[in-house]
Structure 1
Amino acid sequence: MASPLEVLEHLVNAAVVHAFGADRAGVDPALRPSQFADAQSNCALALARDLRRLPRDIAGDLAEALRAVGLEGVASVETSGPGYLNFTFTDAWLSARLVELAGDARLGVPSVEPETIPIDYSAPNVAKEMHVGHLRTTIVGDSIARTLDALGHRVVRQNHIGDWGTPFGMLIEHLLDVGADSDEAALLRSDPNAFYQAARRAFDGDPAFAERARNRVVLLQALDTETLRIWQELVGRSKDYFNRVYRRLDVTLTDDDLAGESTYNDDLAAICDELEAAGIATVSNGALCVFLPGRTGRDGQPSPLIIRKSDGGYGYATTDLATVRHRVRDLGADRLVYVIGTTQSQHLEMVWETARLAGWLPDSVPTVHVRIGSVLGADHKILRTRSGDSVRLLSLLDDAVDRVRDALSERPDLSDGARDAIAESVGIAAVKYADLSVAHDTDYVFDADRMVATTGNTGPYLQYAATRIRSLVANAPSDEDALLEGSPVLVTNESERALVLDLLGYGSVVAAVGRSYEPHVLCAHLFALAQDFSRFYETSPILQADPELRRSRLRIAVVTLDVLTSGMGLLGITVPDRM
């Protein structure tokens, strides 16, 4: 179902061809909402340079051409300013389109030609606690995955956890020392950092322990049966911890999506052999490296992609190359999406360039780096604890939930259980929305007081808007539900008109997010929708209106609730029963 702006895009393109010839086909109609009409096109300004005419004269020609090609659904098209085209839809057309939307289970979200899209996100480390740095890649990645799912793509979630390497010798030996049933071993499920730091202290302070740890790494890399058993226990306990975090954040990652570094152990030697045999990789100072044209460090010297270390070990580059090959060759990827920190940009580009040279990444498979910025503290520096450590993700969530619970403490109508449930839903939504509502490649300041507010562009504001509509519908006359499905929609004032236009634009916004990987665009649309519903509610009596108008406005309210709930679902945000 095309949105109003998409309908106008087709009309403007047809008018451009009619007025100025087929060679002008495909000109950007530059459509946007307007305070003076339902929509405005600025394309005459763009055409002026090529046509060497005044934009206003071009706009006049386009207005005539639009009338010639037909203006179904458009009540008027007027020129204004230096060369703008202002469009106003007919009330009847808007009404009919909203009725159509109300009967569409997809709410106008288009079904696309499905592609297989592996998406790499979250990627915590085994035996280490998830910190605030994991928040954005997890939240943004999950929203993008949900959106691509909704559009009909075959999304393959890839949680590339750090579950292999030299630290595991140290961790395995420490687990053996403290005992699998000890309280300290239980920290792997509750406070992994404490377990890791205790193992590190033993490694740094006890030479005998350090020697055992190094020997254990050799056994692990040799796939010793007993060492692998203990390693699997470490990984299993960490999975319990990851899943606890994911359940609390309501993200869609499961154990089936785990694709850790260990997954590719059997491929790494072959990766190196193929690159060396093809002349893509060469030995430099004992390490096998790929030197790519134009890739230099700050000192101007060639910057290598090291795929095998001088000691024979493998690093991130080797594993990342194996993931590319696997995702294209075995998963059948049509495009690759990586939701990873901005600082990893050069590394990813070098991996992809090497994979293309090796033939593992065809030109037909595009790669996308969804660059993730940092979460900052009030000092506009990376958010850290007073001791300088990274902020634990769970403690950050606890703080937001506690703030909401405190705000609800004056509500005598709520039981303790209801208060806790609302606090959890609203607090988690506050954190997620604060992250998703800003461009993913920019940094943002973590302000807990602002993000839990029920006013402004916040998650709780959207939740409150949805719960208010739900309450409104619940208080409608008992026989109203039977009448809603067949009732017409009446557009009788400007607040209704603005709200209907928002609702009809939802599907195209979701499609745009699927192309641009920018959840903040969806956040902006939902916030505008909630604001416009608030104005509609204030200016357009609903339950007090006459029966025909009441049914119409109730239907608009129901569709608004459906769209808000759907859109928030793509953000991974739930709507509580009450607030």
Structure 2
Amino acid sequence: MPSYVVELQQRFTSATGVDPELRPATKPQFGHFQTNVALRLAKTEGKPPREVAQRIADTVDVADLCEPLEIAGPGFINIRLTEQTLASGVTDLLADPRLQVPLAEPGETVVIDYSSPNVAKQMHVGHLRTTIIGDSFNRVLTALGHRVIPQNHIGDWGTQFGTLVEQILEEGLDVGGLTLPEADALYKRASAHFKTDEEFATRARKRVVALQSGDARTREIWEQLITISLVGFNEAYARLGVKLTDADLAGESSYNDDLATVVEECESSGVAVIDDGALCVFTEGFSAPLIIRKSDGGYGYATTDLAAIRRRVNELDADRIIYVTDARQGGHFAQVFAAAKQVGYLPDTVNAEHVGYGMVLGTDGKPFKTRDGTAASLESLLDAAEEKAARPIALAAIKYADLSNGLGKDYVFDLDRMVQTTGNTGPYLQYAHARICQVLRKAEADGIAGGDKVLELPHPTEQTLALLLSRYGDTVVEVGDTLQPHRLCTYLYDVAVAVARFYDDCPVLRSDGTLRESRLALITAARDVLAAGLDLLGIEAPDRM
């Protein structure tokens, strides 16, 4: 929040005794900010709102920050900042817009569960959203001063590994020499074999028991499958430019030793009861119970998810836990959270949130598929994007298209539209940044000194841009609170549009003296805000395009 807004709020509060709840003006003719404090006070005082508004305008001392206050409509107070006040806000940004983001006090420990691909399978189009969204949350919450702990809950345990290991042994494969695509093909062969050969299926089931019992040969192959998978995963993460590393791994297998304890604690507390042979937690508002131990004694996803919450609260000291998965899993996580509260794993002081995302659709409006009708791999999707544009631009196109929509909505993966440098796209924001860099290079080449502060803002268009830039910190805070990155996308697009209008109305290099210095400083601040905001979206801000 700009220092002048903080000062305005304090002075209005001091004069009225209540928070003025300043809001950006809805139209330029209403000034820069508005407050309805007079209407609220009029109800308690039993006086006409305009009379109360006039009293406030006569009492509050803001002459050094604003033009004379205006009373509008039934009793709104319009606030128009002085040119000098707006200029000071931009000068503050010039130090570094990252420093204008108000840090949380105290910062929280935030655990974010995202990406979570399956071992021995290539990441597909569904992993695109969870990985991009989770990475943006990581960046935003870190910028706000929180301690962020990513958790990549990879699928590295379960019955499918008995099938995989048995297929490997039958084919006599050297697992260490496989690539992830080859392991994916092996997975498909093993699954088909399991369905069509009962003898093989029986051996695969026994192999699961061997894995769970710690059989050396089975474990060795299983570990090799994980190793080759991580190579493929890390290649994808590097290509996407996301922050996940092996240090963030917390796969299903890592909770295996905790499952029996979870079951015992749920049962001994009375939260879990036997129902039709299975151990279940009945949660209010759900038609079916949460099964934490199957009738055959096995454990399911719910048991692992409870173990994960238990560890994240007790060992990672989480204050906030965020799960980024397909929106269709919302009901599952709501029930897991309810069960975790019942057993005491999720205290009221810890906030657990599921952020569900919609599907990626093709231009035909159906779930995105390859030409042969199968689910598109992440690699093939990125290849297609890079055929349209250079990697930084292709990634900007993909990430912005994903994040600029409401997360719960499906969106159409239309590369021809997404890579455009016009309209509301990632490449357009990159172009806006690169264009500013070009102007600043030209100024340097011509020997024109760049301004390190804004001295004057006589034109309404540059005032509009200055006011918009000062809202960067508040926008980042809003995204951290709401987990809605499309709000940051909208803000950055508004900045880019405002810069384009500024170029039309306010010559920069053709200006003189302090006006030219001010305008150079203004676009420098705009460049820095665009770069910082794009970085929080995981998008590169190029100097040239």
Same fold (TM over 0.5): yes
Q: Which amino acid aligns with 2:79?
A: F
Deviation for aligned residue 1:178: 3.9
Aligned length: 543
User: Would you say the 8 A contact 2:322–2:352 is kept in 1?
Assistant: yes
Task: Write the distance in 2 (CA, Å) between the matches of 1:318 and 1:213.
Answer: 23
Task: Write the distance in 1 (CA, Å) between the matches of 2:14 and 2:362.
Answer: 51
Residue 92 of structure 2 corresponds to 100
Residue 233 of structure 2 corresponds to 242
Task: Write the distance in 2 (CA, Å) between the matches of 1:481 and 1:169.
Answer: 70
Q: Does 1:75 align with 2:41?
A: no
Residue 164 of structure 2 corresponds to 171
Residue 213 of structure 1 corresponds to 204
Residue 439 of structure 2 corresponds to 472
Q: Would the alpha carbon gap of residues 496 and 219 (structure 1) be closer, same or farther in structure 2, given more than 3 Å must change?
A: same
Q: Which amino acid aligns with 1:241?
A: G
Deviation for aligned residue 1:502: 1.4
Q: Report percent identity of matched pairs.
A: 46
User: Would you say the 8 A contact 1:429–1:573 is kept in 2?
Assistant: yes
Task: Write the distance in 2 (CA, Å) between the matches of 1:403 and 1:141.
Answer: 25
Q: Would the alpha carbon gap of residues 139 and 63 (structure 1) be closer, same or farther in structure 2, given more than 3 Å must change?
A: farther
Q: Does 1:312 align with 2:303?
A: no
SS across alignment from 2:281: strand
SS across alignment from 1:295: coil
What are the Cα deviations for residues 275-324 of structure 1, in whole angstroms up to 9, with x where unaligned?
1111111112221111112321xxxxxx0101111121111100000010
User: Would you say the 8 A contact 1:119–1:338 is kept in 2?
Assistant: yes
What are the Cα deviations for residues 421-463 of structure 1, in whole angstroms up to 9, with x where unaligned?
xx11101110100010111122222222221111111000000
User: Would you say the 8 A contact 1:462–1:527 is kept in 2?
Assistant: yes
Residue 413 of structure 1 corresponds to none
User: Would you say the 8 A contact 1:34–1:40 is kept in 2?
Assistant: no
Q: Does 1:433 align with 2:400?
A: yes
User: Would you say the 8 A contact 2:42–2:49 is kept in 1?
Assistant: no
> Pairwise mapping of residues 10-409 of structure 1 onto structure 2 (< 5 A)?
10-14=10-14, 18=16, 22=17, 25-26=18-19, 28-41=21-34, 43=36, 47=40, 50=43, 57-59=48-50, 61-71=52-62, 72-104=64-96, 106-113=98-105, 114-181=107-174, 186-188=178-180, 190=181, 192-296=183-287, 303-404=288-389
1:424 to 391, 397, 409: 391
Q: Would the alpha carbon gap of residues 477 and 202 (structure 1) be closer, same or farther in structure 2, given more than 3 Å must change?
A: same
**TM-score (structure 2 length as normaliser):** 0.93
Task: Write the distance in 2 (CA, Å) between the matches of 1:497 and 1:511.
Answer: 23
Q: Which amino acid aligns with 1:34?
A: K
Task: Write the distance in 1 (CA, Å) between the matches of 2:175 and 2:321.
Answer: 42
Task: Write the distance in 1 (CA, Å) between the matches of 2:409 and 2:5.
Answer: 28
SS across alignment from 2:242: coil
What are the Cα deviations for residues 537-570 of structure 1, in whole angstroms up to 9, with x where unaligned?
1211111221332222111111111111110000
Q: Would the alpha carbon gap of residues 382 and 60 (structure 1) be closer, same or farther in structure 2, given more than 3 Å must change?
A: farther
> Pairwise mapping of residues 540-551 of structure 1 onto structure 2 (< 5 A)?
540-551=506-517
Question: Which range is displaced more, 476-485 or 30-39?
Answer: 476-485
SS across alignment from 2:104: coil
Gaps of 5+ in 2: none
Task: Write the distance in 1 (CA, Å) between the matches of 2:470 and 2:363.
Answer: 39
Residue 2 of structure 1 corresponds to 2
Task: Write the distance in 2 (CA, Å) between the matches of 1:205 and 1:360.
Answer: 43
Deviation for aligned residue 1:26: 4.5
> Pairwise mapping of residues 492-503 of structure 1 onto structure 2 (< 5 A)?
492-503=458-469
Task: Write the distance in 1 (CA, Å) between the matches of 2:115 and 2:281.
Answer: 27
**TM-score (structure 1 length as normaliser):** 0.88
SS across alignment from 2:468: helix
Deviation for aligned residue 1:218: 0.5
Task: Write the distance in 2 (CA, Å) between the matches of 1:123 and 1:290.
Answer: 26
User: Would you say the 8 A contact 2:120–2:226 is kept in 1?
Assistant: yes
Q: Which amino acid aligns with 2:472?
A: Y
SS across alignment from 1:368: strand
Question: Which range is displaced more, 129-138 or 525-534?
Answer: 129-138
User: Would you say the 8 A contact 2:123–2:377 is kept in 1?
Assistant: yes
Question: Which range is displaced more, 210-219 or 33-42?
Answer: 33-42
Deviation for aligned residue 1:196: 1.6
User: Would you say the 8 A contact 2:401–2:426 is kept in 1?
Assistant: yes
Task: Write the distance in 1 (CA, Å) between the matches of 2:364 and 2:7.
Answer: 47
Q: Would the alpha carbon gap of residues 10 and 369 (structure 1) be closer, same or farther in structure 2, given more than 3 Å must change?
A: farther
SS across alignment from 2:283: strand
Residue 502 of structure 2 corresponds to 536
Q: Which amino acid aligns with 1:403?
A: K
Q: Would the alpha carbon gap of residues 402 and 276 (structure 1) be closer, same or farther in structure 2, given more than 3 Å must change?
A: same
SS across alignment from 2:178: helix
